[in-house]
Amino acid sequence: MWGRSAQPLASDRDNGAVSESPDVLIIGGGLIGLAIAWRASALGLRVTVIDPHPGEGASWSAAGMLAPISEAHFGEEALTRLNLAAAEAYPAFIEELEAETGTGCGYRRCGALVVGFDADDMRVLDDLAQLQRRLGLAFERLGGRACRELEPMLAPAVSGGLHELLAAL
């Protein structure tokens, strides 16, 4: 059942009680909410998903991008490891989803490129590369020309970047 707001989706007119209450109520119909709904439903649970603005939440703003390495930050090593584990498990999830629905979702590993323009940007990239190296993460350090070979529409002012191969859309 899909709801557009937090209003009861089915009610008993006499007492206002929600009839056929769900076993699981999920607030948010983005990628995570719908994945939880799919799994819970497969277990035989009655599921209701409520989202006041379907397709406009975190899944939309993240554009479907999985970039666990380029999103690594100091002090978030545990989160980075969790992101990596999720990125490794995601292809099997997508394969199962596509088999179940008969629909392709366009998932592809395409890498991510974090670029810098000036000396300050390059120092930030140096710090990020140092963190990634310390965590044992795989990446390539590229000069401006190599960045533009990967992404021809980058500005000529790009002076370098870090290329992460694990990222996907």
Q: What is the mean pLDDT of the chain?
A: 85
Q: Mind listing the pLDDT tens digit for each residue in 13-67?
A: 445 555 579 999 999 998 889 999 999 999 999 999 999 988 787 777 676 777 8
pLDDT given at position 8: 42
Query: In what order do the strands lie in the sheet containing 24-27?
Result: 2-3, 47-50, 24-27
> Of 62, 89, 112, which residue is a domain's last?
62
Question: What burial letters (b/e) apply to 10-32, b meaning 16+ CB within 10 Å?
Answer: eeeeeeeeeeeebeebbebbbee
Give the β-pairing of 140-143 and 160-164: antiparallel
CB 124 within 8 A of CB 114: no
43 lies in the same domain as 78: no
Q: Which domain holds residue 106?
A: 63-169
112 lies in the same domain as 163: yes
Check residue 17 and report its DSSP letter: P
More confident residue, 139 or 166: 139
115 lies in the same domain as 161: yes
Domain count, the chain: 2
Q: Which tokens sit at 109? A: 């590993």
50 lies in the same domain as 67: no
Element of type H or E holding 34: helix 31-42
From the list 106, 116, 124, the residue with the least C-alpha distance to 142 is: 116
CB 117 within 8 A of CB 159: yes
Q: Tell me which range, 72-86, 124-138, 142-156, is most confidently predicted by mean pLDDT.
A: 142-156
HEC secondary structure over 109-146: ECCEEEEECCHHHHHHHHHHHHHHHHCCCCCEEEEHHH
Contacts of 59 (CB under 8 A, 6+ apart): 30, 31, 32
